[in-house]
Amino acid sequence: MEKLTKEKIQQGLEVLNGSADGKLITHLNSCVHCGLCAESCVYYLADPQAKYIPAAKVDIVSSIYRRYHTLAGKLAPGLVGARTLDERTIEEMVDLLFGACTMCGRCVPHCSIGVDISYVIKKGREMLAKTGYVPKTLQTTINAALETGNNMGISDQEFTDTLKWLEEDLQFEVNDNSATIPLNERGREILYTLNPREPKFFPLSISAMAKVFWAAKESWTLSTQMYDVTNYAYYSGNFDEAAVITRRLYDEMHHLEAKSCILAECGHGSRAFRWEGPNYIKNSFPFEVSTSVELMAKYIREGKIQVDPNKITELVTLHDPCNLARTGGIWKEQRYILNNSVQNFVEMTPKGIDNLCCGGGGGQLAMSEYNDRRMKIGELKAEQIRKTGAKIVATPCHNCVDQLSQLNITYKLGVQIKTLAEIVADALVIE
Amino acid sequence: MNSYMWFSLFSFAICLVSCLYHFIRLIRLGKPQDFSAPLGEVGPAVMYAYTKAMDPRKKESAFLHLPTYTAGILYHLGTFLSLFLFVLFLFKTEPLGIPRWFIIGFLLLSGMSGFAIFLKRIIKKELKALSNPDDFISNILVTSVQLMTAISLYNPRFFPWYFILVSLFFLYLPLGKLKHTVYFFAARYHLGFFYGWRGVWPPK
């Protein structure tokens, strides 16, 4: 661990200066240590230790706030459990806030008081970013995005080559030589984004969405300059870097003069751009932002595409990405899509905004040092899946796809993991 | 009023001013600023946050912990009742007859609930690990005020001790977690704002 200098301490403490932030001081002053949030946390459920209780994670941040910003914390720190920001505290913060929380927010609506626990965790990560203690594995992913324009470091050549063969594949599949995957076209209705995992590992999910766009006769384009929907700086707490990444997509929207930005199936990506992005750059977006989930639901509802549920007869269940459902308000649309696209749909329990996190969020997939914990908490999700008896798990998030795929192998679930675009593409009626 | 009552009034005033300071500060800091385009409405969501979102059937902190939840409800009701009685006592008014016995009984029950919560905090390893001295002191003070209110109503000889205890309670409140008296309401507001803006609350 690098040495914690006085300057770094000051930068970290500045994050907790709530003199202009009513939300921050509210949540730092609200927790009563009742501990009743414990069973709402997947980390605690998987491994019932006191440190994994959400209140304990809040406390490591609020204890520092009490030390430097409250009368009792300054005069009698031991009385109120106030902590000094030093290397020992930082070490504990890194372990708890990066290594033992996906910021899924499941604990928040269940908190007795209403503490926005994940907001406090985010603030704690912001402190760690300011003091230079973001896990190197996570920072590497962010650096790739900053340096190359996408978090997988995919070169322009590799990207365009992939799209070229996907386009040929699409033309063959739909028997239409005019079917395209447009690149860098100006003035289209939609600029579509991708999770870089798609061109790297799951290219068929790109062609699936391209097929849906073709069936809907949509005016759309991809950008080779900026197509990455993800923003891992949302996870790291370095909001300067998050703003840089946001600004690139924002600028590309203007450059290509697209009317709306459709975010690919990515929980944190949709949250980071749609909800956090305008606040990173302190500017409202003059264009519409929506998710591919909402778009596909709209296509089906308006009859722009026809789907036949009898094409998919296996039992399908749905994993709700936390950042899309619980904190993004999108949970009815995916159900509408599935109820129209598959013959047999079964819900997990709990579901929707109360769903259990799969364990892949919060940057966990990038932080290999916490793999064991990630797979352990994922067992809860595996058990949920097993109980449904489903053969296909649909999820509108590529990080979740990655995590669920690993859980599928580790816990021998014997299921297929699919995005909603793949489900809809398979169910499409092509005339 | 005797000197004990004056001191308690003085302590109450300090507590009130301190709470008002926190409250006014929050009001002045205003609503959160959000540059994103809202998907829902904040007003109904804030209303939901204060009402139906608190439904024990919806919160795991309640329905997974019914005994603790029930004790907590009784404990808080006992606190509000104690505060109400404090104001009555300052005006040298006391409940009489059957209501007096009912109140004594209720305060004994709520005090015992507080004591049970205190014991839980000592006995349950994880809860003890989460706790600091403020958690225990806050409980001791609030529980003692409720029990002493009941005892003083039963035997007015104990009123001087009651006023000393309640003074300590008022002087301590602004220092530690008992400040959640003010911040609870702000937390519910911010929660409603957050979920309302994003179309999560009220549930569709």
Average pLDDT, chain A: 96
Q: Residue A18: pLDDT above 90? A: no
Residue type, A308: D
Which residue spans within A251-358 are E strands per DSSP?
260-263, 288-291, 315-318, 344-346
User: What average pLDDT does the segment A203-209 reach?
Assistant: 94
Q: Are B22 and A15 in contact (CB under 8 A)?
A: no
CB contact (8 A) between residue B36 and residue A275: yes
CB contact (8 A) between residue B187 and residue A20: no
% of chain A at pLDDT higher than 70: 100
Report the residue of A112, A294, A351 to disrupt the B interface, i.e. the one with the largest count of B CBs within 10 Å: A112
| Nearest-angstrom CA–CA distance, A142 and A233 | 6
User: What average pLDDT does the segment A320-325 reach?
Assistant: 97
A417's enclosing H/E stretch is strand A416-418
Q: Are A312 and A427 in contact (CB under 8 A)?
A: yes
Backbone angles phi, psi at A233, to 5 degrees: -70, -20
Is any Cβ of chain B less than 8 angstroms from the Cβ of A333?
no
Q: Are A402 and A358 in contact (CB under 8 A)?
A: no
Per residue in A327-374, pLDDT (tens digit) is 999 999 999 999 999 999 999 999 999 999 999 999 999 999 999 999
Q: Are A355 and A325 in contact (CB under 8 A)?
A: yes
| Nearest-angstrom CA–CA distance, A276 and A269 | 10
Residue type, A256: L
Q: What angle do CA A101, A105, A107 make, to 5 degrees?
A: 90
Is any Cβ of chain A less than 8 angstroms from the Cβ of B186?
yes
Q: What angle do CA B162, B168, B169 make, to 5 degrees?
A: 85
CB contact (8 A) between residue A72 and residue B134: yes
Give the residues of chain B that fall short of pLDDT 70. none
User: With contacts defined as CB-CB under 8 Å, which chain B residues touch A50?
Assistant: 125-127, 129-130
In the numeric block, the tokens 């977006």 are attached to: A285
Residue type, A214: W
CB contact (8 A) between residue A116 and residue B187: yes
- Give the DSSP per-residue string, B108-150: HHHHHHHHHHHHHHHHSHHHHHH--HHHHHHHHHHHHHHHHHH
Residue type, A417: I
| Nearest-angstrom CA–CA distance, A85 and A67 | 9
Q: Residue A173: pLDDT above 80? A: yes
CB contact (8 A) between residue B133 and residue A37: no
pLDDT of amino acid B204: 85
pLDDT of amino acid A414: 98
Can you tell me whether residue A290 is helix, strand or coil?
strand
Can you tell me whether residue A144 is helix, strand or coil?
helix
User: With contacts defined as CB-CB under 8 Å, which chain A residues touch B181?
Assistant: none
Average pLDDT, chain B: 95
Interface of B with A in 30-59 (CB under 8 A): 30, 32-37, 39-40, 49, 53, 58-59
A116: which residues sit within 8 A by CB, 6+ positions away?
A23, A27, A105, A108, B187, B190, B191, B194
Per residue in A255-309, pLDDT (tens digit) is 999 999 999 999 999 999 999 999 999 999 999 999 999 999 999 999 999 999 9
- Residue B184's nearest CA partner among A32, A390, A98 is A32
Q: Which residue of A has its CA nearest to B200?
A: A329
Q: Tell how strand A416-418 and strand A392-394 pair up.
A: parallel
The tokens describing A232, both together, are 């891992």
CA A242 from centre of chain? 14
- Residue B93's nearest CA partner among B185, B1, B191 is B1
pLDDT of amino acid B1: 73
Q: Which residue of B has its CA nearest to A328?
A: B198
Q: How confident is the model at residue A1 (pLDDT cuts 50, 70, 90)?
A: low
Interface of B with A in 110-149 (CB under 8 A): 124-127, 129-135, 137
Closest Cα in chain A, distance from residue B88 (Å): 29
Q: Are A83 and A97 in contact (CB under 8 A)?
A: no
| Nearest-angstrom CA–CA distance, B2 and A252 | 75
Q: Residue A227: pLDDT above 90? A: yes
Which residue spans within A227-338 are E strands per DSSP?
260-263, 288-291, 315-318
Question: Is the ipTM of this structure higher than 0.90?
Answer: yes
Beta-bridged to residue A263, according to DSSP, are A291
A394's enclosing H/E stretch is strand A392-394
User: What average pLDDT does the segment A123-143 reach?
Assistant: 97
pLDDT of amino acid B143: 98
The tokens describing B4, both together, are 């004990």
Backbone angles phi, psi at B131, to 5 degrees: -90, 155
Backbone angles phi, psi at A181, to 5 degrees: -115, 95
Q: Residue A2: pLDDT above 90? A: no
Residue type, B31: K
Other CB atoms within 10 A of residue B126 CB: 18
CB contact (8 A) between residue A22 and residue B132: no
Closest Cα in chain A, distance from residue B51 (Å): 12
Q: Are A330 and A296 in contact (CB under 8 A)?
A: no
| Nearest-angstrom CA–CA distance, A361 and A55 | 19
Beta-bridged to residue A222, according to DSSP, are A183
pLDDT of amino acid A59: 98
A205's enclosing H/E stretch is helix A203-215
Q: Which residue of B has its CA nearest to A82?
A: B132
CA B115 from centre of chain? 15
Backbone angles phi, psi at A183, to 5 degrees: -125, 130
Long-range contacts of A175-183 (CB under 8 A, 24+ apart): A176/A214, A179/A210, A179/A214, A181/A206, A181/A207, A181/A210, A181/A222, A182/A220, A182/A221, A182/A222, A183/A221, A183/A222, A183/A223, A183/A224
Whole-model pTM: value is 0.95
| Nearest-angstrom CA–CA distance, A126 and A12 | 8
User: Which of A35, A72, A353 is facing B127, going by the closest CB pair?
Assistant: A35
| Nearest-angstrom CA–CA distance, A152 and B193 | 35
Residue type, A305: I
CB contact (8 A) between residue A284 and residue B198: no
Per residue in A362-415, pLDDT (tens digit) is 999 999 999 999 999 999 999 999 999 999 999 999 999 999 999 999 999 999
Q: Residue A19: pLDDT above 80? A: no
Q: What angle do CA A121, A124, A130 make, to 5 degrees?
A: 145
Is any Cβ of chain A less than 8 angstroms from the Cβ of B77?
no
User: Which of A35, A119, A329 is facing B198, going by the closest CB pair?
Assistant: A329
